[in-house]
Amino acid sequence: MELLKKRILIIAAHPDDEVLGCGGLISRFHQYSKFKVVYIAEGVSVRFTDRKSPQLKNEIEFRNKGSEFLNKFGLTDLKFHNLPCGTLPITDAKILHDLIQFEVEDFHPDYIFTHSQFDNHQDHRSVYEAVMVAVRPILDLRKIGIVSFEVPSSSEWNFEMPFTPNLFLNMSLVDLENKMDMMAAYSGETRSYPFPRSKEGIKTLAQYRGTQSGFNFAEAYRAIRVPIY
């Protein structure tokens, strides 16, 4: 799968998912390919009983601002839809479909990277399902490759159907360090080790995926649909 000089659309349920799933990819290819990141939900309000509180607004703004760390890597095309976190399974399916379809038609990606259908987080699963509907294989949509990424603290917590990768990115130490630096911008989403989203947790996963693929460090994905022409 060739990613040089390609248009890569990352569709994430929440700000921080793009780093956890594709931070190494962004580090490796940001100088060679065009990226756009679309965030469907804000990732914070599920923790609040009062969804109109000023504190919630501040938390959403803080988390969105964390995504701006990607500007350091030339990623300035960031789109925040800020739908209420935790509600995507009960959101009208047509709303999600139309939203994602618009982003696809606007960006014209060669590849879409998004969540796994088996993630333990209901918002992640809803985003995956909406992507698959929005880019069903008709007309030019059939040319788009679709790849799932894993999100630590979600993908591996489905103990019945954990994430099973079939694609691996060889990450350099610099790529790994960049990924951990990106995640540090989301300080409210990390905890101390052994939490999977800790700095040590991210490195441990990269080492584990490396042992599966013959690299020192790796980022893992699952190819869902990759057309060959």
- pLDDT tens readout for residues 156-197: 999 999 999 999 999 999 999 999 999 999 988 889 999 999
Q: What was the pLDDT predicted at 21?
A: 98
- φ, ψ of residue 98 to 5 degrees: the values are -65, -40
- Answer for the pair 114, 11: CB distance below 8 angstroms, yes or no: yes
- φ, ψ of residue 169 to 5 degrees: the values are -100, 125
Q: Does the 7-225 domain belong in CATH 3.40.50.10320?
A: yes
Whole-structure pTM value: 0.96
Q: Show Cβ contacts of residue 12 under 8 Å, excluding neighbours closer than 6 positions.
A: 18, 21, 37, 38, 39, 40, 114, 115, 127
